[in-house]
């Protein structure tokens, strides 16, 4: 048996949607982008949504659109794109530690690092579990800070009925490993009317009105750049896939939750004294974009990974090295984060995707049990 780390959840509807776009002749940023944006803002509950070619582009745009200059607090326990966006925008990333149970940013560590140079907080919702956003927003409002949610891994998770990405400015990823995919792609959600034009300009060469929106203008060819922008746009081919994926999102998340709860129960029964499974106090808080176990003994981690891979189970680690220990950031911002550094040595990401079969789930449990019996 061979189990990949992840597998997309698609059928003929995505294929038909792509063919429709190809047949239409409009392949670039266009009507399917608008359809996906309307779907997404309706789902998440924000006034605005804007498609991007990646979550990394959305993160950078969020910082630039708010014209932030100063320090931005974020966890080091994230993908490097989070910190890259801060650095590329000319701000300073301030890495802080995480909660040892949820692996999300520590509220206490945020508060300890706020000073007169702090302009924003970038909480990262890790592996599908939403951060303590109500408390983070309370802290941000107290200090007049912008909140940019890195929601790349948490499409559909809620806290007290409110979606990740709707508390502050939300940045989402549609990479193939995420809850839904467009192949490559991302999306920005926000409620601030004052940055709509700037978001459009940053992602479209500095031009506020996209090509498709200019089609009915008298001078449709007139393109005036109001700032030096980028090309962060999503093609309509990608957006068409996203439109169909959005229709499956609740089903996808429900299957991820079902598989994860099953693994929780089985692993706790057979090796509960050897590892800690990913839990949440409310199933709505976690959509299990990844299923990450934490070993009690760090010395077991690499050996278990090898055992899983030898048995054709596509396990991995998210994330090692953590960002503050990566070459560029380590040299520029040397820091020690005790909890983060400990956790990165003890975690394993097991395969998690909607199409997992019962025998595949049982096979993973069996092989982990087999390892510890040795």
- Supply the residues annotated as catalytic: 178
Determine the Cα–Cα distance for residues 233 and 248; give it in Å rounded to an integer. 24
Determine the Cα–Cα distance for residues 106 and 337; give it in Å rounded to an integer. 12
Query: Do β-strands 275-276 and 71-75 pair in parallel, antiparallel, or remain unpaired?
Result: unpaired
Listed in order, strand segments (DSSP E) in the chain are 48-52, 71-75, 92-96, 118-121, 146-150, 158-159, 162-163, 169-173, 186-190, 275-276, 291-295, 347-350
Query: Do β-strands 169-173 and 186-190 pair in parallel, antiparallel, or remain unpaired?
Result: antiparallel
Under 8 Å between Cβ of 188 and 55: no
Counting Cβ atoms within 10 Å, is residue 278 exposed (0-12), middle (13-18) or buried (19+)? buried
And the tokens for 363? 């096979």
Under 8 Å between Cβ of 172 and 165: yes
Cross-strand bridge partners of residue 186: 52, 173
Least Cα distance to 126 among 9, 280, 264 occurs for: 280
Determine the Cα–Cα distance for residues 127 and 117; give it in Å rounded to an integer. 30
Determine the Cα–Cα distance for residues 10 and 7; give it in Å rounded to an integer. 9
CA atoms within 13 A on the CB side of 319: 22
Cβ partners under 8 Å of residue 160, min gap 6: 134
Provide φ and ψ at 243, rounded to 5°: -60, -45
Residue that has been written with the tokens 């392949």 in this structure: 27
Listed in order, strand segments (DSSP E) in 255-316 are 275-276, 291-295
Cross-strand bridge partners of residue 204: 231
């Amino acid at each position: 048996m061979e189990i990949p780390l992840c597998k997309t959840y698609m059928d003929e509807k995505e294929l038909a949607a792509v063919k429709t776009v190809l047949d239409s002749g409009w392949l670039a940023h266009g009507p399917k982008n608008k359809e996906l944006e309307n779907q997404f803002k309706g789902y998440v509950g924000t006034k605005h949504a804007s498609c991007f070619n990646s979550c990394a582009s959305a993160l950078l745009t969020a910082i630039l659109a708010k014209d932030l200059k100063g320090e931005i607090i974020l966890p080091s326990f994230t993908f490097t794109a989070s910190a890259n966006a801060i650095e590329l925008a000319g701000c300073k990333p301030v890495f802080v530690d995480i909660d040892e149970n949820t692996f999300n940013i520590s509220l206490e560590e945020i508060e300890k690092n706020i000073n007169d140079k702090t302009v924003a907080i970038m909480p990262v919702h890790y592996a599908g579990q939403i951060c303590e956003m109500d408390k983070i927003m309370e802290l941000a409002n107290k200090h007049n800070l912008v909140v940019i949610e890195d929601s790349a891994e948490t499409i559909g998770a809620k806290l007290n009925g409110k979606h990740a990405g709707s508390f502050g400015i939300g940045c989402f990823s549609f990479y193939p490993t995420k809850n839904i995919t467009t192949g490559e792609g991302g999306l920005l959600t926000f409620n601030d009317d004052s940055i709509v034009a700037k978001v459009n300009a940053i992602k479209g060469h500095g031009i506020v009105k996209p090509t498709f929106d200019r089609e009915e203008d008298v001078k449709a060819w007139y393109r005036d750049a109001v700032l030096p922008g980028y090309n962060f746009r999503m093609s309509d081919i990608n957006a068409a896939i996203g439109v169909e994926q959005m229709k499956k999102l609740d089903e996808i998340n429900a299957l991820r939750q079902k598989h994860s709860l099953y693994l929780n129960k089985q692993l706790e029964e057979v090796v509960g004294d050897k590892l800690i499974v990913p839990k949440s106090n409310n199933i709505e808080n976690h959509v299990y974009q990844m299923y990450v176990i934490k070993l009690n003994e760090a010395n077991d981690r690499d050996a278990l990974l090898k055992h899983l891979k030898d048995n054709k189970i596509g396990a991995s680690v998210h994330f090692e090295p953590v960002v503050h220990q990566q070459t560029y950031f380590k040299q520029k911002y040397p820091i020690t984060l005790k909890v983060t550094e400990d956790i990165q040595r003890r975690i394993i990401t097991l395969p998690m995707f909607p199409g997992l079969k019962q025998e595949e789930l049982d096979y993973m449990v069996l092989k982990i049990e087999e390892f510890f019996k040795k």
